[in-house]
Every structure is written in C-alpha cells, then in structure tokens.
C-alpha cells in the first residue's frame, strides 16, 4: 500500500493538537470569564475519544450483548511463522506457489472460489490468483474481509519476508476462518479474500499496484456479486507489537466508526485511530464502486515506519496480542453489522 500522508510527512497527532487547543483555551478562560462557551468546546476537543467519535456520523448501534469473539492468537502467530518460513513470496515465484498451496490446505472442505488470471504488469506478464473462502450466513448480503498474501516484488532478491506486510494479515484471515467454520452464521455471509499482486512491481501508481483486487472487483461487478456486498474490511500490516491502527481517510467514515466502537466494546480502543492517515490500499477498487470500506492498517511500523518494505520486516517485531486485537475487532464489527437493521450506503 501507499500512504499519501507518508509522502506529505503527516500523519498529524490528534492528541497533540487537542492538547495545544485546550491549552490555548485554558489561557483564555483565566483572562476572561465570559468565554465559557468556547472553553466548553475546547474541553470536548481535549478528549481524543470524543474528538474521534465526533468526526464520524451518528450511528445507532445495537446494544453490546453476547460474549466477546473467540480468537486463538497463538495459532494465528503459528500461521505467520509458517508463511514467512517459505521465504520471499513475490508473484511468479516458486515460494508464491507454496503459499498458495498452504492457504488452500487450510481451507479444505470450505467453499473456495479462485479468481485466476494473467496480469500485464510493468515487469511483464504474471499469473495471479485471488483465493476466496465463503462462509454462508442466514441474512441476505455479504461482508468481505480481505488481505493480500504476495510480498514486495522489487525486494524479491533480498531476504525480505514480509512478516507484517503480507503474512500477518493472511494468517489473521486463516484464524478467522477457523472461528467461522462449521456453523451456520446467523448474520451476513462472510467471504474471506486472500488477494494477490497487491504490491507495486516498480513504483506505486494506480496502474502499477492492486492487480489482484482490481480484477476481483471488476469480476464481481460484472457478475452481480458486488451489489450484495454490504461492507469490505481490509487488514494490512496488523501484526506490529506496537499496534496503532490508523483512521484511514480513504475509508467509509460510518464503517470506520463501527470498527472503533467494536474495538471499544472489547476494551482495545487505545490501539485505534489516535492518528489520521490516507492510505491507498486494496479497498480502493471497492470504494470506487460504492461499497462501504474500512482499511485496518498500522502504517507506522517501527519509528517513522522504518521496517516497512525492508528485510527488517521480521516476526520478532510482531505480537500475538496485536493479531488478537485486530481479529477481535473484525469479528466484533461483523457481529455489530449483523445486528444493525439497515446499513448506511457508502
């Protein structure tokens, strides 16, 4: 993925701005007592949680009921280690084929669709395979949860293994599959998508990126599937032990708010949305087609994102707890969406 704010040396820190604002208003209140109204406004801004909530539309959510979702973080972490053990997994490589087979071996018995095609890239033609596992629900409509599983192509001849960028979210989806398997879901159908060829072949651009998911979005538009998709949740770089999921300004505000409320219900809100970002990622082809999307991404991997797209993206930087927090937030988001009478449009 690519972050606009990364290039523009954002993201800005909401907390710092709120603190600055509240300090200014505190100064004013000592000078003049008839500034009460503004002071109250400043107090609201001084609370990051309230500020984050007020940035999104008002939603009426179903009451918090039922047990928190189950998520086996140890097993998810085991999957991360097994995936990175294949080594670099760029498209067209023998290791890429191994991870395709690995994912398929974990989805035996599930309803799996493959979207296979040849991508015409700036580096030539490559085989691409999106893998979709479908878990049927009783409610009309589909919630998609996606992760890319390829690793960075330009780093193909280094020791780069993409533990966080590629493996963490792919493993997360495998563990979500374990939680969904074998029972009739009492909400929307959930389709897990391991999409391919997310990474740029040379330099990130609209044309040189997101090859797999662009193909899938177009295919689902053509065959009518797209109309049934109620929400598209994306996980990317979610294994960082120092977990800070960004509020992505390229995502759908109301769905981001549901994610935030889901995390809050699980007591994990301090890992969400302290920082705004604007991320170009696998959700964009679905956003462009009117599907509500939320990109769950921590695009601050090491100080100043220093481990991103480097051979330092290794398992020792990750934590099972982070996988659990994001896995829980996704499952709780699905549970909230299932109980909402109607979902807002994008």
Q: Please state the closest distance from residue 30 (CB atom) to Zn ion, in A.
A: 50
In the structure encoding, which two tokens stand for residue 20, read together?
């600055």
Q: Which is nearer to Zn ion, 165 or 324 (CB)?
A: 165
Q: Write out the binding residues for Zn ion, residues 165-184 only, by CB under 5 A.
A: 165
Judged by beta carbon, residue 174 or residue 200, the one nearer Zn ion is 200
- DSSP 3-state of 40: helix
Instruction: Using DSSP, state whether 9 is helix, strand or coil.
Output: coil
Q: How many CA atoms lie within 13 A of 58 on its CB side?
A: 0
CB of 235 to Zn ion, least distance (A): 13
d(CA 170, CA 76) in angstroms, rounded, equals 9
Shortest CB 131 distance to Zn ion, Å: 18
Residue 205 CB, nearest approach to Zn ion (Å): 14
- Of 150 and 338, which CB lies nearer to Zn ion in the complex structure? 150
Sign of the torsion formed by the C-alpha atoms of 197, 198, 203 and 206? positive
CB nearer to Zn ion: pick between 165 and 256? 165
Strand intervals (E) in the chain: 2-3, 111-121, 124-135, 137-148, 185-195, 229-236, 245-248, 272-277, 279-280, 293-297
Residue placing its CB nearer to Zn ion in the complex, 165 or 332: 165
313 sits near Zn ion (criterion: CB under 5 A): no
Binding positions for Zn ion, 90-129, rule CB under 5 A? none
Residue nearer to Zn ion on the CB measure, 47 or 310: 310
State which of positions 147-166 bind Zn ion (CB under 5 A): 165
Q: Which is nearer to Zn ion, 6 or 79 (CB)?
A: 6
Total residues belonging to the chain: 346
Shortest Cβ 150–Zn ion spacing (Å): 9
Cis peptide before 343 (omega within 30 of 0): no
Least distance in angstroms from the C-beta of 309 to Zn ion: 6
Q: How far apart are CB 342 and Zn ion at their closest, in Å?
A: 36
The radius of gyration of the chain's CA atoms, rounded to the nearest angstrom, is 21
Euclidean distance between CA atoms 112 and 15, whole angstroms: 44
- By beta carbon distance, the residue nearest Zn ion is 165
Question: How far is it, in rounded angstroms, from Cα 130 to Cα 124?
Answer: 19
Please, are residues 53 and 260 in contact by the beta-carbon 8 Å criterion?
A: yes
Site size for Zn ion (CB under 5 A)? 1
**Residues at the site binding Zn ion, with contacts judged by CB under 5 A:** 165
């Amino acid at each position: 993925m690519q972050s606009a704010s990364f290039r523009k040396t954002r993201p800005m820190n909401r907390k710092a701005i709120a603190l600055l604002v509240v300090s200014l208003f505190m100064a004013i209140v000592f000078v003049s007592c008839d500034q009460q109204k503004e002071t109250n406004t400043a107090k609201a801004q001084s609370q990051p949680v309230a500020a984050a909530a007020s940035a999104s539309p008002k939603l009426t959510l179903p009451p918090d009921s039922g047990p928190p979702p189950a998520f086996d973080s140890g097993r998810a972490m085991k999957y991360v280690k097994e995936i990175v053990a294949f080594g670099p997994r760029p498209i067209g490589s023998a290791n890429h084929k191994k991870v395709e087979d690995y994912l398929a071996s974990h989805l035996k018995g599930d309803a799996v669709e493959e979207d296979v095609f040849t991508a015409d890239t700036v580096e030539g033609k490559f085989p691409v395979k999106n893998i979709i596992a479908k878990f049927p629900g009783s409610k009309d409509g589909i919630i998609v949860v996606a992760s890319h599983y390829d690793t960075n192509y330009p780093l193909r001849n280094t020791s780069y293994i993409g533990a966080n960028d590629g493996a963490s979210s792919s493993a997360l989806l495998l563990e979500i599959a374990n939680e969904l398997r074998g029972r009739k879901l009492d909400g929307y159908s959930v389709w897990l998508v391991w999409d391919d060829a997310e990474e740029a072949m040379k330099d990130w651009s609209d044309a040189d990126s997101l090859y797999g998911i662009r193909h899938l979005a177009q295919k689902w538009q053509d065959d009518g599937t797209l109309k049934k998709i109620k929400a598209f949740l994306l996980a990317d770089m979610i294994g960082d032990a120092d977990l800070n999921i960004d509020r992505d300004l390229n995502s759908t505000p109301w769905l981001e708010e549901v994610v935030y409320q889901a995390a809050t219900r699980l007591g994990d809100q301090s890992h969400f949305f302290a920082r705004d970002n604007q991320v170009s990622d696998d959700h964009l082809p679905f956003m462009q087609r009117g599907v509500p999307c939320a990109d769950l991404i921590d695009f601050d991997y090491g100080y100043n994102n220093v481990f991103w797209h480097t051979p330092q993206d290794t398992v020792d930087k990750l934590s099972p707890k982070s996988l659990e927090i994001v896995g829980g937030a996704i499952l709780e988001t699905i549970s909230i969406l299932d109980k909402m009478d109607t979902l807002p449009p994008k």
